[in-house]
């Protein structure tokens, strides 16, 4: 009789869409009433006989039910801890990636093939400072599959005026790790490889060999000439940018495909004091954002085969007067940087 009552209560709760918790409380209340009857009624009571004769059977039943619920709860907890097996995706992009890159895919010059080329690309960025900051952020946002970043410095307060990839909380942190955190927060689908060290001759060739394209955002000529020669030797295209005060410039140097190299255009280092650094002469905060974003744009165009890149052309931007000029540049005979390049 009691079991029938419990079943009826459970069924009625299910029919009226009562929460599971409420149905369990109702069944528990019936069980408690039965146990109370066994405890207070005399042994020869007719009601005790009608509800099982003793409390032992109800205690056993409660134990079985408790074990069943404990097993169910434990199984649910184990399932929650096991990482779900990813569903095999059709094509190179997941649904989340298709939504993320939808505006790129809509562009006729990029489309699905271009976005897939970006995903398969490996780009090395040398310097996570003023030029590297916007370049890295836009490369990550664009969906470049593997992005390496080389820098030996740590974030300083004076960097935050223009190096937008870093935060105030990152002061004292290595720039490559600060940049990695910002890029992964922006796009978890890209792989970021931080190299906390200077770009020097002992590792230069090995590093560049792993990448399809190099972006140079450094602020000293020794590194620029080293990057150029390593890229020429490896047959890798190089996008190089530079800024000072209110002016910036950039180009795509690709000697392996008939274009000039950096040393063709800038064969000699300027005399000391002729080109002061940002720390010496200052720089307008948005300027590295302008040039760095253009470097990323050139990288996207080059990797997708879209439009006309700055190969064989040098872009010069004067932010103070809002003027931009593009001049043609050519290979220089006898250039020590690319004289033997094809």
Query: Is the pLDDT assigned to residue 13 strictly greater than 90?
Result: no
pLDDT at residue 282, as a whole number: 87
Same domain, 169 and 308: yes
CATH number at residue 146: 3.40.50.720
Q: Which residues, in sequence order, are CB contacts of 207 under 8 Å at separation 6+?
A: 124, 148, 150, 195, 199
Same domain, 40 and 188: no
Query: Is the pLDDT assigned to residue 51 strictly greater than 90?
Result: no
Between residues 45 and 88, which one has the greater pLDDT?
Answer: 45
pLDDT at residue 88, as a whole number: 46
In a domain, 105, yes or no: yes
Which pLDDT band, with edges at 50, 70 and 90, does 271 fall under?
confident
In the structure encoding, which two tokens stand for residue 146, read together? 């593997």
Query: Is the pLDDT assigned to residue 87 strictly greater than 60?
Result: no
pLDDT at residue 269, as a whole number: 83
In the structure encoding, which two tokens stand for residue 270, read together? 């300027």
Please say which residue of 54, 81, 108 terminates a domain. 81
Which pLDDT band, with edges at 50, 70 and 90, does 83 fall under?
very low
In a domain, 341, yes or no: no
DSSP state letter for 22: H
pLDDT at residue 341, as a whole number: 43
pLDDT at residue 241, as a whole number: 96
Same domain, 193 and 306: yes
Query: Is the pLDDT assigned to residue 46 strictly greater than 80?
Result: no
288 neighbors 296 (Cβ within 8 angstroms): no
pLDDT at residue 147, as a whole number: 98
* DSSP letter for each residue of 154-166: B--GGGGGT-TTS
Query: Is the pLDDT assigned to residue 342 strictly greater than 50?
Result: no
Please say which residue of 55, 81, 107 terminates a domain. 81
pTM higher than 0.85, yes or no?
Answer: no
Q: Which residues, in sequence order, are CB contacts of 71 under 8 Å at separation 6+?
A: none
Please say which residue of 46, 81, 116 terminates a domain. 81
Same domain, 146 and 277: yes
Rounded Cα distance, 292 and 338, in Å: 25
pLDDT at residue 71, as a whole number: 77
Q: For 161-212, what is each residue's pLDDT tens digit?
A: 999 999 999 999 999 999 999 999 999 999 999 999 999 999 999 999 999 9
Which pLDDT band, with edges at 50, 70 and 90, does 159 fall under?
very high
Which pLDDT band, with edges at 50, 70 and 90, does 86 fall under?
very low
Same domain, 76 and 125: no
pLDDT at residue 103, as a whole number: 95
pLDDT at residue 214, as a whole number: 98
Q: Mean pLDDT, to the nearest integer, of 242-247?
A: 94
Query: Is the pLDDT assigned to residue 90 strictly greater than 60?
Result: no
pLDDT at residue 109, as a whole number: 94
Rounded Cα distance, 224 and 266, in Å: 10
Mean pLDDT of the chain: 86
Q: Mean pLDDT, to the nearest integer, of 234-262?
A: 95
In a domain, 88, yes or no: no
Percent of the chain scored above 70 by pLDDT?
Answer: 80
Which pLDDT band, with edges at 50, 70 and 90, does 85 fall under?
very low
Rounded Cα distance, 65 and 51, in Å: 18
Q: Mean pLDDT, to the nearest integer, of 57-76?
A: 74
pLDDT at residue 58, as a whole number: 64
In a domain, 74, yes or no: yes
- Count how many domains the chain has: 2
Which range marks the domain in which residue 36 is found?
Answer: 2-81
Percent of the chain scored above 90 by pLDDT?
Answer: 65
């Amino acid at each position: 009789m009691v079991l029938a009552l419990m079943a009826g209560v459970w069924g009625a709760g299910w029919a009226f869409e009562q929460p599971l918790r409420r149905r369990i409380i109702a069944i528990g209340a019936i069980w408690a009433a039965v146990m109370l009857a066994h405890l207070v009624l005399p042994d020869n009571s007719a009601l005790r006989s009608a509800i099982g004769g003793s409390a032992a059977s109800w205690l056993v039943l409660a134990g079985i039910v408790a074990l069943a619920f404990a097993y169910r709860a434990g199984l649910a907890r184990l399932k929650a801890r096991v990482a779900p097996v990813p569903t095999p995706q059709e094509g190179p992009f997941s649904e989340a990636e298709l939504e993320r890159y939808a505006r790129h895919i809509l562009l006729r010059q990029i489309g699905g093939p271009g976005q897939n080329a970006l995903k398969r690309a490996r780009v090395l960025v040398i310097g996570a400072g003023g030029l590297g900051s916007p370049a890295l952020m836009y490369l990550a946002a664009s969906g470049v599959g593997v992005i390496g970043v080389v820098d030996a410095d740590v974030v300083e307060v004076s960097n935050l005026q223009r190096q937008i990839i870093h935060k105030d909380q990152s002061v004292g942190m290595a720039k490559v790790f600060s940049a990695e955190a910002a890029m992964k927060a922006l796009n978890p689908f890209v792989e970021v490889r931080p190299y906390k060290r200077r770009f020097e001759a002992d590792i230069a060739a090995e590093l560049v060999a792993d990448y399809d394209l190099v972006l140079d955002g450094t602020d000293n000529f020794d590194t620029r000439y080293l990057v150029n020669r390593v890229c020429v030797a490896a047959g890798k295209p190089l996008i190089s940018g530079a800024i000072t005060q209110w002016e910036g410039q950039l180009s795509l140097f690709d000697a392996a495909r008939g274009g000039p190299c950096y040393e063709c255009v800038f064969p000699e280092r300027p005399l000391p004091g002729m080109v002061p650094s940002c720390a010496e002469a200052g720089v307008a905060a948005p300027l590295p954002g302008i040039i760095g974003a253009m470097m990323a744009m050139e990288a996207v165009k080059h990797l997708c085969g879209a439009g006309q890149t700055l190969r064989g052309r040098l872009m010069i931007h004067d932010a103070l007067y809002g003027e931009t000029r593009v001049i043609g540049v050519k290979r220089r005979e006898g250039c020590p940087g690319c004289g033997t390049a094809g």
